[in-house]
Structure 1
Amino acid sequence: MQAQAPYLLIPSSPEPSTEAGAPEPAALRDDAPPPPPAGAAAEPAARAGHPSWTASLLAERPTAELRHDLSRFGVGVGLASLYGLALGARQGGVSFIHHAAGVPAAMIAVACLGVPALTIVLTLFDAPLDPSRVLSATARAAAATGLVLGGLAPAAALFVVTSGSHDTAALMGLLGLAVGGAIGVRVLLRDLGAALRRDQGLLTRSGYTAALLGFAVFAVALALRVWADTLPLLGGGGS
């Protein structure tokens, strides 16, 4: 009789299980949401790294760049011309040219006459302003005004064409100009005001405030004068 070789019972390895009381991993649960696509998480990060065109146009830069500031000012003037074309749609013809040139003419007048005068007054109070910073603030203000006026251009064109009263059309056109100009002046004063020193005495700080407020009044009066003389919708331009 042959002896039977003994055999060993090797227990099978137990299935992996979580410790008592430990939460089951989300990947093992039946109700776990499907993982997001590979590109879904990277897409918002990619968009965050590339700001929009308007954000780049209005962005503050740590160092002023003459070429960039002049380009930004030119874009603001071009967008403001679109609003002028919208106002000229009421009369048509050569009125397009008068309005397209007249609307940004006020911005150029304020930038060439008002801003240098404001800078000179602020330097009398020992304001730490340099020409590059002033140019950058002026360019941002022009870009902001142009964006507002360019955005209002379609609505202005529709209104001035369909309005039955010339006075109403002129009033609404002037209202759009006032909104765009007010935003531009606000951006300019905010940028210049941020560069002023706050550790000065009461007299110096009062001089800062008076100079900024005086510039705002002068800018409004100058812009209204230019628009009244050049825009046929407002009675100017040889209308």
Structure 2
Amino acid sequence: METGVPEPVGRRGDAPASREAGVATEPTAPATGASAGPTAPATGASAGPAAPAGHPGWTASLLAERPAPDLRGDLSRFGVGVGLASLYGLALGARQGGVSFAHHAAGVPAALVAVACLGVPALTIVLTLFDATLDAPRALSATARAAAATGLVLGGLAPAAALFVVTSASNLTAALMGLLGLAVGGAVGVCVLLRDLRAALQRDGGLLRLAGHGAALLGFAGFAVALALRVWWGTLPILNGDAL
């Protein structure tokens, strides 16, 4: 006769069942946290402030293309180009000194003024013969931008020009180096002017008569080069022989 009361079967399995249930439920919390974890950095990165846009420099603003002509801005740009070109004149006048500073400082930008006052109006009149609609504000804007580009080049070459003209043993070498800088600055200005005028004609549909307009622009380029050389040769003592 058995006196002990057998332990119920269900009570024996309670502990393992509880342990299994605990093991099964334990990974759920990390899984939830792991799935929610990456979302916070992503949300924070998207909500961060955007990087501030950079501001254009003075040179970029001076040479920037404007959507519409601005009389005051164009005159100011042309004046800056003339002033920078005067720096190159001062560098050329350093060889002789004295009154030569004033002669060269006035003679170098005189070519820019001559081309702007004589060449560009003449080109505008010639283009009207080919039914090109180039108004005066656009021509002035292109001229001012070309003068600014020429002035920047000449102003940048001024220190090197002063070094060459002062240290050159030969007067002819000093004159040739000075003329080389003038040629580089003038070529840059003419290229900028022709490109802007060509773009203005294209906006107005003027390039349908490309042959006539191209001939007029090429003729103007030759005229501008000849006029600038004539002005420089007559006003710069380092070129016309007065300083040689």
- State TM-score, norm by structure 1: 0.81
SS of 2:97's equivalent in the other structure is coil
Partner residue in 2 for 1:81: 86
SS of 1:15's equivalent in the other structure is helix
CA–CA distance in structure 1, aligned partners of residues 242 and 165 of structure 2: 17
Identity %: 74
Partner residue in 2 for 1:4: none
Does residue 46 of structure 1 match 2:53? yes
Q: Whose helix proportion is higher, 1 or 2?
A: 2
CA–CA distance in structure 2, aligned partners of residues 91 and 232 of structure 1: 9
CA–CA distance in structure 1, aligned partners of residues 136 and 121 of structure 2: 9
CA–CA distance in structure 2, aligned partners of residues 153 and 130 of structure 1: 35
SS of 1:95's equivalent in the other structure is helix
Partner residue in 1 for 2:156: 151
Residue pair 1:230, 1:237 contacting (<8 A) in 2 also: no
CA–CA distance in structure 2, aligned partners of residues 15 and 81 of structure 1: 76
Q: Give 1:81-230 correspondences, 5 Å limit.
A: 81-196=86-201, 197=205, 200=208, 204-230=209-235
- State TM-score, norm by structure 2: 0.79
Partner residue in 2 for 1:71: 76
Shift of 1:123: 1.1
Residue pair 2:132, 2:206 contacting (<8 A) in 1 also: no
Larger radius of gyration: 2
RMSD: 2.8
CA–CA distance in structure 1, aligned partners of residues 76 and 200 of structure 2: 23
Residue pair 2:111, 2:232 contacting (<8 A) in 1 also: yes
Residue pair 2:82, 2:112 contacting (<8 A) in 1 also: yes
Does residue 57 of structure 1 match 2:59? no
Shift of 1:46: 3.0
How many residue pairs were aligned? 214
SS of 2:178's equivalent in the other structure is helix
SS of 2:56's equivalent in the other structure is coil
Residue pair 1:198, 1:205 contacting (<8 A) in 2 also: yes
Deviations 1:65-88 (A, max 9, x none): 100000000000000000000111
CA–CA distance in structure 2, aligned partners of residues 176 and 188 of structure 1: 19
Gaps of 5+ in 2: 1-17
